[in-house]
Amino acid sequence: MHSILKTSLAALIATGVAGTVAFADTKQMTGDLKITSDMSNPAPRAVMEGLVAGFQELHPKMNIELTIVDREAWKTQIRNALGANPPDVVNWYAANRMGPYVSAGLFEDISDMYTNGDLPGLDSVKGAMTIDGKQYGVPYTYYQWGIYYREDIFKELGLSEPVTFDEELANCEKIVASGRACYAIGTKFLWTAGGWFDYMNMRTNGFDFHMQLARGEVEWTDPRVRETFANWRKIIDMGGYIADHQSYSWQEALTSMTDGEATAYLIGNFAVAPMRDAGLDDSQIDFYQFPKIADVPQGEDAPTDTFHIPSGATNKENARAFLQYVTSADVQTDINSGDKLGQLPVNAASGVDADEFLEQGFDMLSNNAKGGVAQFFDRDFTAEMASVGMEGLQEFMVFPDNLDDILERLEDARQRIYK
């Protein structure tokens, strides 16, 4: 499912989509620009349409065509789209998720934009766009993961935010004793289990080890990986997760938290808006960094969404101008505001909304992510390994006694995939 629209600035302004963000651009450009975006959910779609409208306002003689594709469908369509007659700009993801398209020569090297001053303010996120010392796109938003919890239930049970995993487990015991689950989670679409593994592994073995595993350099049967699962099983064995989570999407599972049947959710900041929409106000929900397990630097998941120029694009100069516009400080402040994407700007000169969760996430990623920033399991691992891996992670959460078989299967897959 997708929709194609040729941007009409007048129409977008009439519907209130076009923004009034200031942007210093001294050169009006002409010609064509074709953009394919996976920002298909309502709020991101409005942002994407607003970006096109704002850019069109700066370059009124440019002919811009925007194609919006379903986010999940785009994951299987992108390779074909990058083949013959590709668009000029596409959405994708940072780090290893862009690796196959870089290796295949399908993404344009735009390193010069980082070195010649076209992209000021992106130094802190440049690494996520770098492969073998070169940059292949720009980020436009990122967001923190962590534990969102029912502050009112914590107060009812006399709990405080845990700093260590032992404190986390002690809290969980009291929550289970109250007749609730500690954590909401929906693993029907597998990837949410990947978030739990990311944190359990980064906290047990450290960020560097986690990335070595993601690159296929560590065996899944390694004792250190087994230690990660042993720590994770402590939560499973005490009944910490909601029942039948494999039957729910993350949105469906969120109901158990908003209804008070579960107390916390390890999830990204995108879950805040649905919690508020369900009737929870900020006095009822709060956030904390995933607790410390071992004495290793704290790594964090902070998935980064990106724009890229296909190497076969026809209108590369116009595409570069669009990437420069998208990452400018004022535009970044605007599109990441709480009433739009509600995430964190990638430009260091941007402002952050006076939103407690954005402020906490910005502080955590700026000051307390000393180990490094991961992109999330299904982005850091190769696509095939991520698919096999997440199936195993979900199986472990339901049938933890199957661990030996699961690890053997994952190790067989590692040897085949990373050969």
351-354 contact pairs (CB < 8 A, 24+):
none
Q: Which two tokens stand for residue 268?
A: 């990204």
Task: Report the pLDDT value the prediction gives residue 130, as an integer from 0 to 100.
Answer: 87
Sheet holding 62-69, edge to edge: 2-6, 62-69, 31-37, 89-93, 304-308, 138-142
93-120: string of b/e by CB count within 10 Å (b at 16+)?
Answer: bbbbbbbebbeeebbbebeebbeeebbe
Q: Using the predicted structure, report yes or no on whether residue 16 has a pLDDT greater than 90.
A: no
> What is the pTM (predicted TM-score) of this model?
0.77
Task: Report the pLDDT value the prediction gives residue 228, as an integer from 0 to 100.
Answer: 98
Q: What are the tens digits of pLDDT across the range 263-302?
A: 999 999 989 989 999 999 999 999 999 999 999 988 999 9
Among 344, 346, 355, 341, CA closest to 41:
341
Q: What are the tens digits of pLDDT across the range 72-94?
A: 899 889 999 999 999 999 999 99
Task: Report the pLDDT value the prediction gives residue 26, as an integer from 0 to 100.
Answer: 54
Q: What is the rounded average pLDDT of the residues 30-58?
A: 97
Residue 127 confidence class, pLDDT cut points 50, 70, 90 = confident
Q: Which helix (H) or strand (E) covers residue 304, if one does?
A: strand 304-308
- Strands 304-308 and 89-93, by their bridges, are antiparallel
- In whole numbers, what is the pLDDT of the chain averaged over residues? 91
Task: Report the pLDDT value the prediction gives residue 419, as an integer from 0 to 100.
Answer: 85
Residue 410 confidence class, pLDDT cut points 50, 70, 90 = very high
Q: What is the rounded average pLDDT of the residues 192-196?
A: 98
Is the Cβ–Cβ distance between 154 and 263 less than 8 Å? yes
Q: What are the tens digits of pLDDT across the range 310-341?
A: 999 999 999 999 999 999 999 999 999 878 98
Phi, psi (deg, nearest 5) at residue 51 = -60, -45
CATH 3.40.190.10 domain extents, the chain: 2-142+304-350, 145-301+364-417
Q: Specify the range with the lowest mean pLDDT, choosing from 14-28, 70-84, 143-157, 279-293.
A: 14-28
Q: What is the rounded average pLDDT of the residues 342-354?
A: 86
Q: What are the tens digits of pLDDT across the range 302-316?
A: 989 999 999 999 999
Q: What are the tens digits of pLDDT across the range 364-385?
A: 887 788 887 889 999 899 889 9
Tell which CATH architecture fits domain 2-142+304-350: 3-Layer(aba) Sandwich (3.40)
Q: How many CB atoms lie within 10 A of CB 419?
A: 6
Q: Specify the range with the lowest mean pLDDT, choosing from 4-13, 33-42, 50-59, 111-120.
A: 4-13
Task: Report the pLDDT value the prediction gives residue 25, as an integer from 0 to 100.
Answer: 52
CATH domain 145-301+364-417 topology: D-Maltodextrin-Binding Protein; domain 2 (3.40.190)
What is the rounded distance in angstroms from the CA atom of residue 409 to the CA atom of residue 139? Answer: 35
Q: Using the predicted structure, report yes or no on whether residue 20 has a pLDDT greater than 50.
A: no
Task: Report the pLDDT value the prediction gives residue 307, as an integer from 0 to 100.
Answer: 98
Q: Which two tokens stand for residue 279?
A: 């009737």
